[in-house]
Structure 1
């Protein structure tokens, strides 16, 4: 019997599966997806077994990760409500769908974990916000939940009321970072830098800057100030970003993301 079952092997499900392999054996994981060609492809690549139905996947696993898009949750939960038991740990990664809503569909006795990982889990560099009712889980189960998400990168326990904010700052934000890298690289290509060098330099600048925040513990504003020499090139660039609404654009993106979570 597998320890972890993944229902849905799209971009996020695949990232979770690949991240889990950094800590778990191939025999510990099973998955399924409606696209059976995709299942065969992923199984061949990762060496993980797959099954044809959601119910079969749920029966084979203790920890069941629901990695399908929110619009497909109602039929999925209808399929699973008579298959999963109170012995299972149901892990939902759907934005906007609450624990209460999940239990209404699956049964009040079912035990649910909500999580919001992101696609850098593919490389073991993910960030996952997690919430669950700790008194409903044994110490062994809580350790397993921690182990699942730390195998994907970093994790942080948050209150459920904050999960939509987690979607904004972590779940969706890699897309914003990719846009920034692309735009920054384009700006260098404009002045003659080869595109491959521009992408490498822009991406590494993001990686290095992020590590500075995480490892020094300094406020991002203080780190920014250290790069901005008086009357220098960097402060000229920062001034232009402020002039054209850089911070406001980022905050507006989070506003739009948050509102979309509330509507799901």
Structure 2
């Protein structure tokens, strides 16, 4: 029995070494920037301190330089560190580095649409349309400044209600910023205690929480496997659909009252553009 156990252990160790040697040789053939040696399947995940991603990335940059490779699972990720390096990639060579990586946790919902998740010609068209129409709607103009000032008055009003009591203002400021975005997107703001507003922001917060959780990160790294494994990450699709349902409702309302000659907000502008493309 002991002999069988030792033989099994030896076979296991030899198999692991063979896998590691093959994996390492395949990795080097990609001619990628230097970086810490990854393990098969899990990559460099064990070398990243839990809850200290930024600290770990800075530590790697000191060891391997401002451009290095990390493996998140079997996928190589090129990391850029430092102002000059990031500026060269994203500004000086913005066209070459304009692509977005996959985000499997949201692909079922977005279907590769949206300014932050699309690529190529689709991304360029959406980006140009968005920038042009945001300017038309007052972005970076005095009218936009007035929206911010108006929302600031609501924030001051909420602070006055506390009568000097301590408060973590993080949520209040996030509510204010969200309302400014809503006024641009939908043409109106919500009261901070409005049930629909609270629920909507709760959905957004939960989405980001699940995406950044270990389950969400595993789904991003191993989507083909995690799609079939039960866990909190499976909830992402359901809550994202709630968010899409809210947006669809606002689109239907805008369609009923749309004036093609006088867009009131971003959704109106998008609907007008869609109609022009159809005709």
Q: TM-score range by the shorter chain?
A: under 0.3
Select the structure of larger CA radius of gyration: 2
Structure 1 or 2: more strand by fraction: 1
User: TM-score, normalising length from structure 2?
Assistant: 0.22
Structure 1 or 2: more helix by fraction: 2
